[in-house]
Structure 1
Amino acid sequence: MGTSRSKLILMVGVLGISASAILVRFSQAPSGVLAVYRLGWTVLLLLPVVLLRYRAELKRVTRRDVLLCAASGVCLAVHFLAWFESLRLTSVSVSTVLVSTEVIFTALGFALFLRGRIPRLGVAAILLAFGGSAVLALSGGAEAGALSGNLLALAAAVASALYTLIGRVQRGHLSTAVYTFLTYLACFVTLVVLTAGSGTPLVGWGARELFMGLALAVLCTLLGHSLFSWCLKYLSPSYVSAAKLCEPVFSTLAAIPLFHEVPTPLQLIGGVVVLGSVLLYTRAERPETVDKPSSQRIRREE
């Protein structure tokens, strides 16, 4: 596989995840319902593949694996609920930039819980990212509840980081297919319980919302983050991480004509600071990760 082709496939993945915020905004269903539909379709599409190709590995899964995958799924469910609701309250540009700080929270969790080491330049990048995030979180906006939406985006980033850290442990001995299937299944069950438990009906939202969930599952999960995992075989983790930073840019550009959301100067400054710091961190981490096996790399898979 040539590098040029791998980069082209990586860009397809970036475009896929960039559609996520736009689709959520177009949806008229509650955040929990849309998340249930997305994960329901994802599990349904993965089920035949796992049963046909990974049945033997499924039979070897231990109770510990099931518990950790369940915990990972709960974190992913919290991520979806918080981020989807964030997009209802704040602008696409601010929400997507803040949720991209997941890389920074993953690095902190890696150092605190998995005894990892953060390079000095990485520490500077983390401090810079928090400064930019504070600017964005307090930047307000035209919509009511913008601050709540900004804080929800940060909460979504933290939840995604926990999901990634658990995945780092599990992918050392489980295939990506089995790990993601078990995690997505746990996420789906968690979303159903939380959404139904809140009194929100899961049905009756029409075929349009079911299609939105299917589009999120195919474009953002299967043709988005799954392609990122595939590209890690041919491209460095730092390159893939840097490419993901195009998501807030593409989403913001799409939101301008679709929703008439033009970022304010303060939001632009905060966004540039955050994205720049995340890019700086991926560069700082590169010497320590580029030559490590895939099971030792920090990855993001929403």
Structure 2
Amino acid sequence: MKVLEKHPMIMIIIGVIGISVSAIFVKYSDAPSVVTAAYRILWTVGIMSPLVFGSREVRKEMKQTDKKTIVLCGVSGMFLAFHFVAWFESLNQTSVASSTAIVCTEVIWVALGFVLFLKGKMGRGAIFSIAITVLGSLLIAFSDYSAGGDNLYGDGLALAAAVFSAIYTLIGREVRKGMSTTSYTYFVYVFCALTLCVSAAAAGIPFTGYGVRSVLVGLLLAVFSTLLGHSIFSWCLKYLSPSFVSASKLCEPAVAALFAAFLFGEIPVLLQVIGGVITIGGVLLYSKVEKNQ
């Protein structure tokens, strides 16, 4: 562990790979998007439960959590569920490169939500960054529209997934002010799992019958994308600056696209690449603007 503390970049690389392979794993699932998402979160809850209930401090905090906070965690979990379903379905309709690039615009929607609903302020630099990001996303959409098929629909789902994730993040930003990360994420994951299971049942979608591979995909998503992905980035915040950690996440579209090109033969066209670079560039620029504010 001391080696990793001295060389946190090792963990950054593992984290980038962890979040990048999530799109690849989803492609291998034979289950509907809502079921794949449910498998992922149920595995995550199962892995976390012994750690959560094995800690006296966490149990005490969860027991003392007020009803308003629990309700907010519930709403946050619902939007996280919507995010997973929209994004997983997006990956079934469009390329990994387009979907991951558009989903990465979440930070832009968080900024807009912060201004509109939490009375935050936004300078010219932030507005310019958002404009660049929107331009990049439009280029991706135009490229996919020209390609025909359901690609444009997939882009729309990726955009919806980014917005849903932004709402989840904004709620978490407020709730986390008086709550530990462990308690918050556990509550959210439980409500997310319930939302996904109820949604599947309401839609008449069977929860089983998709083979062992789909269940295994859920486990791989839980381990690599959640625990070895997002959790590692949280750990890295102790040793690296938040701006660097956030910027490193923007490697996901490029790494995921490389995996998709090798495994599925998804070779992005030039306009798609340009749109992706501009989109990620806009997000990166916004991250720097936010740091300097």
Q: TM-score range by the shorter chain?
A: over 0.9
Q: Kindly indicate whether the alpha-carbon contact (under 8 Å) linking 1:135 and 1:266 is maintained by their aligned counterparts in 2.
A: yes
Aligned counterpart, 1:22: 24
Aligned counterpart, 2:264: 259
Q: Kindly indicate whether the alpha-carbon contact (under 8 Å) linking 2:28 and 2:214 is maintained by their aligned counterparts in 1.
A: no
- The letter for the 1-side match of 2:49 is L
- The letter for the 2-side match of 1:244 is K
Q: Name which of 138, 142, 145 aligns with 1:134.
A: 138
SS class of match (1:115): coil
- The letter for the 2-side match of 1:286 is K
Percent identity of equivalent pairs: 50
Whole-angstrom CA distance in 1 between matches of 2:148 and 2:21: 22
Whole-angstrom CA distance in 2 between matches of 1:220 and 1:4: 24
Whole-angstrom CA distance in 2 between matches of 1:255 and 1:239: 26
Q: Kindly indicate whether the alpha-carbon contact (under 8 Å) linking 1:14 and 1:246 is maintained by their aligned counterparts in 2.
A: yes
Give the count of matched residue pairs: 288
Aligned counterpart, 2:74: 70
SS class of match (2:196): helix
Alpha carbons of 1:211 and 1:35: their partners in 2 closer, same or farther (altered >3 Å)?
Answer: same
TM, length-normalised to structure 1: 0.92
Q: Name which of 230, 234, 239 aligns with 2:235.
A: 230
CA distances 1:9-38 after superposition (whole Å, capped 9, x unpaired) = 122111100010000011111111100100
Whole-angstrom CA distance in 1 between matches of 2:287 and 2:87: 23
Alpha carbons of 1:26 and 1:142: their partners in 2 closer, same or farther (altered >3 Å)?
Answer: farther
- Backbone CA RMSD of aligned residues: 1.3
The reply to whether residue 102 of structure 1 matches residue 106 of structure 2 is: yes
CA distances 1:165-212 after superposition (whole Å, capped 9, x unpaired) = 001001111100000000011000000011121111001212211111
Report the Cα offset of residue 132 of structure 1. Answer: 1.0
Whole-angstrom CA distance in 1 between matches of 2:40 and 2:120: 33
Q: Kindly indicate whether the alpha-carbon contact (under 8 Å) linking 1:90 and 1:143 is maintained by their aligned counterparts in 2.
A: no
Whole-angstrom CA distance in 2 between matches of 1:42 and 1:259: 27
Aligned counterpart, 1:269: 274
Q: Kindly indicate whether the alpha-carbon contact (under 8 Å) linking 1:89 and 1:148 is maintained by their aligned counterparts in 2.
A: yes
Q: Name which of 197, 200, 204 aligns with 2:202.
A: 197
Aligned counterpart, 1:292: none
- The letter for the 1-side match of 2:84 is F
Q: Kindly indicate whether the alpha-carbon contact (under 8 Å) linking 1:41 and 1:213 is maintained by their aligned counterparts in 2.
A: yes
The reply to whether residue 163 of structure 1 matches residue 168 of structure 2 is: yes
SS class of match (2:179): coil
How is 1:52-67 mapped onto 2 (pairs within 5 angstroms)?
52-53=54-55, 54-67=58-71
Whole-angstrom CA distance in 2 between matches of 1:216 and 1:107: 28
CA distances 1:207-250 after superposition (whole Å, capped 9, x unpaired) = 21111100000000011001111111222111111000110000
Unaligned runs of 5+ in 1: 289-302
Q: Kindly indicate whether the alpha-carbon contact (under 8 Å) linking 2:19 and 2:229 is maintained by their aligned counterparts in 1.
A: yes
Whole-angstrom CA distance in 2 between matches of 1:249 and 1:163: 25
The reply to whether residue 287 of structure 1 matches residue 292 of structure 2 is: yes
The reply to whether residue 173 of structure 1 matches residue 175 of structure 2 is: no
- The letter for the 1-side match of 2:36 is L
The reply to whether residue 213 of structure 1 matches residue 215 of structure 2 is: no
The reply to whether residue 117 of structure 1 matches residue 106 of structure 2 is: no
Alpha carbons of 1:162 and 1:233: their partners in 2 closer, same or farther (altered >3 Å)?
Answer: same
Aligned counterpart, 2:253: 248
SS class of match (1:202): coil
Unaligned runs of 5+ in 2: none
